[in-house]
Amino acid sequence: MAVILDGKSLRNKLLENLKKEIDEFEVKPSLAVILVGEDPASKIYVNNKRKTAESLGIVSTVITYPQDVSEDVLLAKINELNRDSSVNAILVQLPLPKHINKQNVIDAISPEKDVDCFTLENCGRLFTGLEPAVYPCTPQGILFLLDEYNIDLDGKHVVVVGRSNLVGKPMALMTLKRNATVTICHSHTKNLKDITKTADVLISAVGEVLIEDDMMKDECVVIDVGIFKDDSGKVRGDVNFDAVSKKVSYITPVPGGVGPMTIASLMLNTVKLYKKQNKRSL
Ligand code: GUN
């Protein structure tokens, strides 16, 4: 039986410590979230972010827009938030509607307030191995979880399934920085199973049922970033958890694995940006 990588417990521990730190701050850190449209998953994510922030004493503002909002309106709001020194962190919830140029909107965020590490400047820093303002929430949360269980990546073969800007690509860069040998697989990969079978750490961020127990070696560490509701309404990930957890060494559950770590990361990132901005103005 695999050891369960318990994201919920680690989140609770990290946030408990973070709350103590925030309690000491006279002026509280502040996170502004922009939510466009009615995407049900986005609404749930944003609500969770807001509730978690508020429970820690982080000032949380959610700015909502209808699906047909113009790009100019979003850009004007982001510029206003950039100039507002009481706002430390800005998050534009993705996905955005198709008529909006996502990169234009993201890149309007001041890199110092870019809590997701989405702007070109911060992505460029990540790419070159320089320090971005903060690291992207989900990959960083996964590394915190691996560190908590003393799972070292040096020299290991990390296989990332999925090539999104949100998870797959930054995950690959961040594990590379930890001296892993990294392979990225995606929908056009021809011999997926041959590759995943050689993984020491297998990270799946696809959003569909894909990873079965015959796709990895027994010692594998399996990280499941996928989260969706199956036909019966059950929340599940990319990995066939019941079968795979009987075989491998470590595995994240869904829910309760990567999801809570992403939220914890966002809160830690908000406070990190707050501290950097306050240090500079002293
Ligand atoms: N949509 C799904 N996950 C995320 C995230 O971590 N950040 C943002 N901005 N949008 C998302």
Mutate to test the pocket of ligand 1, among 91, 102, 109, 169 (most ligand atoms within 8 A of CB): 91
For residue 262, what are its two tokens? 């992403």
At CA 132, angle to CA 178 and CA 111, rounded to 5?
Answer: 160
Q: 96 and 90 in contact (C-beta within 8 Å)?
A: no
- Determine whether 93 is an active site residue: yes
Residue closest by Cα to atom 2 of ligand 1: 94
Residue closest by Cα to atom 8 of ligand 1: 93
| Cα 94 to ligand 1 centroid, rounded to whole Å | 5
CA pair distance 185, 158, nearest whole angstrom:
11
The number of residues making up the chain comes to 282
Mutate to test the pocket of ligand 1, among 43, 44, 46, 116 (most ligand atoms within 8 A of CB): 116
Q: Which atom of ligand 1 is nearest to the CA of 262?
A: 6
Q: 259 and 11 in contact (C-beta within 8 Å)?
A: no
Q: Which of 45, 44, 55 is nearest to 12 (CA)?
A: 55
Residue 230: predicted pLDDT: 86
Q: 132 and 122 in contact (C-beta within 8 Å)?
A: yes
Number of helices (H), then strands (E), belonging to the chain: the values are 10, 11
Stated pTM of the model: 0.97
Q: Is 256 exposed, middle or buried (0-12, 13-18, 19+ CB in 10 A)?
A: middle
Reading across the β-sheet that carries 89-92, which strands appear in turn?
Answer: 59-65, 30-36, 89-92
Which residue ranges of the chain lie beneath pLDDT 70? 280-282
Q: Is the CB of 10 under 6 A from ligand 1?
A: no
